[in-house]
Structure 1
Amino acid sequence: MDCLRAETYVLDLLRRHLAPTLFYHGPHHTLDVVEQAGSLARAEGITDTEELALLRTAAFYHDAGFLSAYQGHEAAGCALARQVLPGFGYSAEQIEKICGLIMATRMPQCPGDSHLAQILCDADLDYLGRPADFWPISQTLFEELTTRDLMSDETAWLELQVRFLSSHRYWTPTATARREAAKQERLAEVRQQLERL
């Protein structure tokens, strides 16, 4: 597996070809998920080099489907992975593992018992429990959805945030310990904003 070339390839595609109105799902989000997945994997005791490589590749490709689709982007990302990763030395079995990780991030998240899928799901939504950048990041998602006529106004957005934060769960002990308390604080803040409208 030439992981570095596989990563460079997809990151270049994302930087050159993603729609500029993907204010949330841009290359910055992909790089954040890669970083958080690595951090969580280390904290969760993942040491197998192949598992770490597959997780990292899945993090790089998890939203690559936005290059061709908004709805169903996970499946589109898997199609891209199946198309290009053989050229970087990934076996069919490794690619299917990567696609399983990518598909686990589909909402509502469903990682099952796969430790790597749980880590990727937690990395994907790590910002929900980050006090410093929850609000600016959630604003970019609001703008992205509004641009696509998928969100009508701020009230509808805050109501969606309450439902989403209330139903969301972190899957790994590390993410729960790091982020759950702060996520609950953000939920309280969202409810307060909703009451003020």
Structure 2
Amino acid sequence: MTRYLKLRKKALHMLRTELSGDLCYHGMAHTLDVLKVCNGYIRRGKLYGEKAMLLRTGALCHDLGFTVSYENHEEHGIIIALRLMKEYYFTPAQRKVVVGLIRATEVPQTPKTNLERILCDADLDYLGRDDYSRISNLLLKELKRFGVNLTAKEWRQKQISFLEEHRYHTPYAQKYREPVKQNHLLEIKDQLSA
């Protein structure tokens, strides 16, 4: 656990000091939200010891690549995560699990293990929550700051496509997040047709 706590301190410091202020969505708040959601899965699933540590490590590291580049941030994040894990004496097998976790969050998500399914669902948990609109607006603001200019109609169409294509991977998210996500989808479709 000491290894994880040291890595956590370093990763949070990197996010706090190295992320661009233009990252309205992919900022430290998002990483902390994903970590909080993962902790809920850890409690509900009674995940202990190494599995919990690796899931938390994946949550902390999954967007570290944004400290380097907006493009291909997963690959940059993997490089940073490997360096940190080596520094804090994670085993090669543990490093491999975390690399898989980070890679699984790339859209379209392709989780292969239970931990990967959990992290993917935690990463996009907000799609099925009441704060969806607020967080979605942060993403739009971020995209505009990085040169992606969308009209209101184009943004709604993009949201519809994303929500229709997205799938939750865990029974919890399928039961508790998917119905709320479907409501958001209907609302956006109504806005588009108004």
3-state secondary structure, aligned to 2:154: helix
Question: Is the 1:41–1:119 Cα contact (8 Å) retained in structure 2?
Answer: no
CA distance in 1, matches of 2:149, 2:158: 9
Counterpart amino acid of 1:126? Answer: D
Tell me by how many angstroms 1:42 deviates.
Answer: 2.6
Spell out, residue by residue over 1:123-164, the C-alpha distance to the aligned partner (whole angstroms, 9 max, x if none). Answer: 000000002x11110000000011112232221111000000
CA distance in 1, matches of 2:105, 2:125: 12
Q: Give the length in aligned residue pairs.
A: 193
**Equivalent residue, structure 2, for 1:119:** 118
Q: Does 1:170 align with 2:173?
A: no
**Equivalent residue, structure 2, for 1:139:** 137
Question: Is the 1:64–1:77 Cα contact (8 Å) retained in structure 2?
Answer: yes
Q: CA RMSD in A?
A: 1.1
Q: Within 5 A, what are the aligned runs for 1:185-196?
A: 185-196=183-194
CA distance in 2, matches of 1:61, 1:36: 15
Question: Is the 2:55–2:98 Cα contact (8 Å) retained in structure 1?
Answer: yes
Spell out, residue by residue over 1:27-58, the C-alpha distance to the aligned partner (whole angstroms, 9 max, x if none). Answer: 00000000101212332x24231011000000
| TM-score, length-scaled by structure 2 | 0.96
Question: Is the 1:101–1:117 Cα contact (8 Å) retained in structure 2?
Answer: yes
Tell me by how many angstroms 1:84 deviates.
Answer: 1.8
**Equivalent residue, structure 2, for 1:149:** 147
**Equivalent residue, structure 1, for 2:6:** 5
Question: Is the 1:129–1:180 Cα contact (8 Å) retained in structure 2?
Answer: yes
Which consecutive residues of structure 1, in runs of 5 or more, have no partner in the other structure?
none
**Equivalent residue, structure 2, for 1:99:** 99
Question: Is the 1:130–1:182 Cα contact (8 Å) retained in structure 2?
Answer: yes
**Equivalent residue, structure 2, for 1:33:** 34
**Equivalent residue, structure 2, for 1:182:** 180
Question: Is the 1:158–1:194 Cα contact (8 Å) retained in structure 2?
Answer: yes
| TM-score, length-scaled by structure 1 | 0.95
**Equivalent residue, structure 1, for 2:18:** 17
Which consecutive residues of structure 2, in runs of 5 or more, have no partner in the other structure?
none
